[in-house]
């Protein structure tokens, strides 16, 4: 599944994500802090911001929950297994929303690796020969409620939503 190059820059896409979700608790995992995050922190001084270097998260970070986790310039510097564990751990334990900005040509990852972690291909950005891909995950959008999950398809529709067993 190929996403056509975006007309926005990666910084504009990150700024749009931050503006859309306006996180009160923000996690950045990567080697450097992009200007879009600096601008967001200046505009929202009450935002609790945590920056962790690429790699396994420190224990004081893994014990916290964040509104949004950004993984930028990170997976290119890690073995794939470590990256999988990092993304899976953040998705399962630390954040309901996650965005990953990655150069697929600079690492051993494929688009399908992100799909297997329930991330969606959102945008790609091209500058000269470099292509950056943005993958996102939102727990609220992860899975749509199936059309069969309603009283019409229950054996006893009058009991739908009344009993939990």
Model confidence pLDDT, tens digit, residues 75-105: 999 999 999 999 999 999 999 999 999 999 9
CA distance 50 to 79: 23
Number of domains in the chain: 1
* 88 domain-assigned: yes
CATH code of 137's domain:
3.40.50.150
The pLDDT > 70 percentage for the chain reads: 91
Give me the domain span that covers residue 73: 10-159
Residue with tokens 């329930």: 118
* 2 domain-assigned: no
The 3-state DSSP class for residue 29 equals strand
Q: How many CB atoms lie within 10 A of CB 149?
A: 10
* 1 domain-assigned: no
């Amino acid at each position: 599944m190929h996403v056509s190059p975006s007309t926005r820059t990666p910084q504009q896409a990150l700024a749009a994500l931050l503006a859309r979700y306006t996180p009160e608790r923000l996690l950045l995992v990567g080697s450097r802090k992009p200007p879009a995050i600096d601008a967001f922190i200046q505009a929202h001084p009450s935002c609790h911001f945590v920056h962790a270097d690429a790699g396994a998260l420190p224990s004081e970070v893994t014990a916290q929950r964040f509104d949004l986790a950004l993984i930028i310039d990170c997976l290119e510097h890690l073995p794939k297994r470590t990256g999988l564990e990092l993304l899976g751990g953040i998705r399962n334990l630390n954040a309901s929303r996650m965005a990953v900005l990655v150069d697929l040509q600079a690492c051993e990852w494929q688009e399908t690796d992100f799909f297997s972690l329930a991330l969606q291909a959102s945008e790609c950005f091209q500058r000269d020969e470099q292509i950056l891909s943005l993958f996102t995950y939102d727990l609220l959008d992860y899975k749509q409620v199936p059309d069969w999950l309603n009283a019409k398809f229950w054996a006893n529709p009058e009991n739908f939503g009344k009993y939990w067993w």
